[in-house]
Amino acid sequence: MTNTLLILPGDGIGPEVMAEVRKIIDWMGARRGLVFEVSEDLVGGCSYDAHGTPLTDAAMAKAQSVDAVLLGAVGGPKWDDLPFEVKPERGLLRLRKEMDLYANLRPAKCFDALADFSSMKREVVAGLDIMILRELTSGIYFGEPRGIFEEGNERVGINTQRYTESEIARIARTGFELARKRDNRVCSMEKANVMESGVLWRQVVTEIHDAEYPDVELSHMYADAGAMQLSRRPKQFDVIVTDNLFGDILSDLAAMLTGSLGMLPSASLGAPMENGRPKALYEPVHGSAPDIAGQGKANPIACILSFAMALRYSFDAGAEADRLEAAVEKVLADGLRTADLTGPEGGTPVGTAEMGDAIVAALDASL
């Protein structure tokens, strides 16, 4: 099967970190025979400058036709005053919406060498490896009715939490499938104590579990208690599956357990395509970092780890994903640190390209 990949470097540090991913892609082709058909296009502010829109129809069509899309970052002060419908972020939102990417995967993994960067104590986070799975296309951010209305002599703001059975079932299945490839445990979080949508969520997750995934260990937790447990004893979890709103909050909380924004990858997956691979968009969690753009200072690891997720979830190359993650672990253990990772314990300061080259060297050494 050919492996098709669309690269959308975007704005700010996006092209800088993507240049390092290109090195890894080339390495996988040359040294592992894992060849990618790569195309590249514009997204965000740079697309607006060239075409007057943050994502052209042609780029959108390309995204729909490839196995995976890898995006850098979008936005920056240059485009802050643009009308809402052509803001850089609209390009990203269009991709997520039209590809119907309902499953957002946010791993929170604490590399041993960086455990002191966490706001938590080392023993709480060292060795942490959990996955927050957030439902991304439904729930309170999309439910109707919504708006600000007049009611009597005052205004009322309304948003509606709404989940259908099939929406819950498909995200539950993604959670159980993920768990089977990890530590085989899922914790589902909602507020079934106070919300009917939470009651249905718990019922459907349990039904899917009992009928299709009885081998996976399933537990349930109220989302507020989950937040407490995540900050108290995060290593008790493997996969956490939750809705759009709670997932938004819990994934940011989990991210901060691990330290720097420059280290965090993500994936958003949709339904399987004809070739069995899911629609997929991979991107670092960070933005375009205009304060350091163009200076060769950005940490490329979040984008490189996003590519590792693409290897694992789109290209059936889990062993190469493991190899790449181990290479990242090695350069960190060797003390290499981009500016965002320099702390009291010192280390060797490196720029974006040096970090990418060191990861390629660690890949070489792994053979």
Nearer to ligand NAD, 11 or 190 (CB): 11
Binding residue for ligand NAD, selected from 6, 7, 59, 74, defined by CB under 6 A? 74
Active-site hit among 11, 41, 238, 248: 248
Active-site hit among 112, 141, 334, 357: 141
DSSP 343: B
Local structure of 235: helix, strand or coil = helix
Binding residue for ligand NAD, selected from 254, 287, 311, 363, defined by CB under 6 A? 287
Local structure of 267: helix, strand or coil = strand
Residue type for 350, please? V
CB 290 within 8 A of CB 12: yes
Binding residue for ligand NAD, selected from 9, 76, 91, 234, defined by CB under 6 A? 76
Contacts with ligand NAD by CB under 6 A: the residue count is 21
Local structure of 159: helix, strand or coil = strand
Structure tokens at 175: 């959670």
How far apart CA 363 and CA 365 sit, in angstroms, is 5
299 forms part of the interface with ligand NAD (CB under 6 A): yes
331 forms part of the interface with ligand NAD (CB under 6 A): no
Q: Could you tell me what percentage of the chain is helix, strand and coil, using 3-state DSSP and rounding each to the nearest 5?
A: 45, 25, 30
258 forms part of the interface with ligand NAD (CB under 6 A): no
Nearest Cα neighbor of 38 from 269, 310, 292, 224 is 310
75 forms part of the interface with ligand NAD (CB under 6 A): yes
302 forms part of the interface with ligand NAD (CB under 6 A): yes
How far apart CA 157 and CA 40 sit, in angstroms, is 42
Is residue 141 annotated as part of the catalytic site, yes or no? yes
Q: Which of the residues 156 through 215 are near ligand NAD (CB under 6 A)?
A: none
Active-site hit among 57, 210, 224, 291: 224
How far apart CA 162 and CA 65 sit, in angstroms, is 30
Active-site hit among 49, 100, 215, 252: 252
Active-site hit among 87, 109, 191, 279: 191
**Closest distance of CB 341 from ligand NAD, Å:** 8
Q: How many CB atoms lie within 10 A of CB 151?
A: 8
Nearer to ligand NAD, 187 or 298 (CB): 298
Binding residue for ligand NAD, selected from 118, 161, 242, 288, defined by CB under 6 A? 288
**Element (H or E) spanning 71, and its range?**
strand 68-73
Structure tokens at 263: 């280290």
Angle, helix 352-365 to helix 318-333, in steps of 10 degrees: 120
DSSP string, 258-310: T--GGG-EEEEEEEE-TTSPEEEEEEESS---TTTTTTT----HHHHHHHHHH
Is residue 235 annotated as part of the catalytic site, yes or no? no
Nearer to ligand NAD, 115 or 302 (CB): 302
337 forms part of the interface with ligand NAD (CB under 6 A): no
Nearer to ligand NAD, 13 or 257 (CB): 13
| C-alpha R_g of the chain | 21
Name the residue whose CB lies closest to ligand NAD.
Answer: 287
**Closest distance of CB 17 from ligand NAD, Å:** 6
Q: How many CB atoms lie within 10 A of CB 50?
A: 10
Residues in the chain: 367
**Closest distance of CB 269 from ligand NAD, Å:** 16
**Closest distance of CB 289 from ligand NAD, Å:** 4
Structure tokens at 152: 């009597």
109 forms part of the interface with ligand NAD (CB under 6 A): no
60 forms part of the interface with ligand NAD (CB under 6 A): no
Nearer to ligand NAD, 238 or 325 (CB): 325
Contacting positions for ligand NAD (CB under 6 A): 13, 73-76, 89, 92, 261-262, 283, 286-292, 298-299, 302, 340
> Which residues are identified as catalytic?
141, 191, 224, 248, 252
